[in-house]
Each structure stands twice: as structure tokens, then as C-alpha cells.
Amino acid sequence: EAQVTQNPRYLITVTGKKLTVTCSQNMNHEYMSWYRQDPGLGLRQIYYSMNVEVTDKGDVPEGYKVSRKEKRNFPLILESPSPNQTSLYFCASSPGPHRANTEAFFGQGTRLTVV
């Protein structure tokens, strides 16, 4: 089944403790993104990747890192999480950039709480 898989689905952590949220897609998509969703703010893009070893900042990249060493995986790293990073996070993939009329396939989300 074609899917985007995020892990974990739920995570409670403490301020400053490094964490990684994994994202994997099985559709051989080139383009992958991370979003955060907050009440009243909608979805905002954190980072995106056009292909292996090609990543770039989205609208809200501060406090996050990503890597794209393999086509299928795009982990989101919080080196020193803070309470303002408490949010619902989504990974998405698509065959190519959206200007090429491609749709995004979303993972089920990771609800992160930083205390």
C-alpha cells in the first residue's frame, strides 16, 4: 500500500532533550516536506527536500534540522526542543514539486508535547 509513515505518533519529551521524528515513503517520491500544524495558524512548512541531499528551509525552520540521505527517508530533528515546538507535525511526499501539478501524500501525524 502506498503510504507515508511517521514515527512516533505521540511523543512527550522534556525541554532540551534531542529527538528525531522519522518519516518514510514507499512511493519513490522525489519531493518531501515537513509541516507543523497549530490551532489558528493552519499548516506551515518547516523544511522541504527536492531530492537526495537537497534540502531547503520552509517558512518556520528555526529550531529544526532535516537530512535526506536516502530517497525514502526524511527525518526531522529537534536538537534542543522547547515548549513552543509543541505541535502536530506532518510529513508529506509528492512525485515532484507542486508547480508540476502534483498532489501531496501526508503521513498520519506526530503529536509532540515539550514540557
Partner 1 sequence: SQQGEEDPQALSIQEGENATMNCSYKTSINNLQWYRQNSGRGLVHLILIRSNEREKHSGRLRVTLDTSKKSSSLLITASRAADTASYFCATAMNYGGSQGNLIFGKGTKLSVKP
Q: Rule CB under 8 A: which residues touch partner 1?
A: 4, 31, 33, 35, 40-45, 48, 50, 56, 58-59, 88, 90, 92, 96-99, 101, 103-109, 111
Rg (CA), the chain: 13
Residue 17 Cβ vs partner 1, minimum distance, rounded to whole Å: 24
Cβ contacts of 98-106, under 8 Å, gap ≥ 24: 98/31, 102/31, 104/33, 105/2, 105/3, 105/4, 105/25, 105/27, 105/29, 106/4
**Closer residue to partner 1 (CB): 18 or 98:** 98
Residue 18 Cβ vs partner 1, minimum distance, rounded to whole Å: 25
Cis peptide before 95 (omega within 30 of 0): no
**Closer residue to partner 1 (CB): 59 or 79:** 59
**Closer residue to partner 1 (CB): 63 or 109:** 109
3-state secondary structure of 25: strand
The Cβ of residue 110 has, within 10 Å, a number of other Cβ atoms equal to 23
Residue 37 Cβ vs partner 1, minimum distance, rounded to whole Å: 9
Residue 39 Cβ vs partner 1, minimum distance, rounded to whole Å: 9
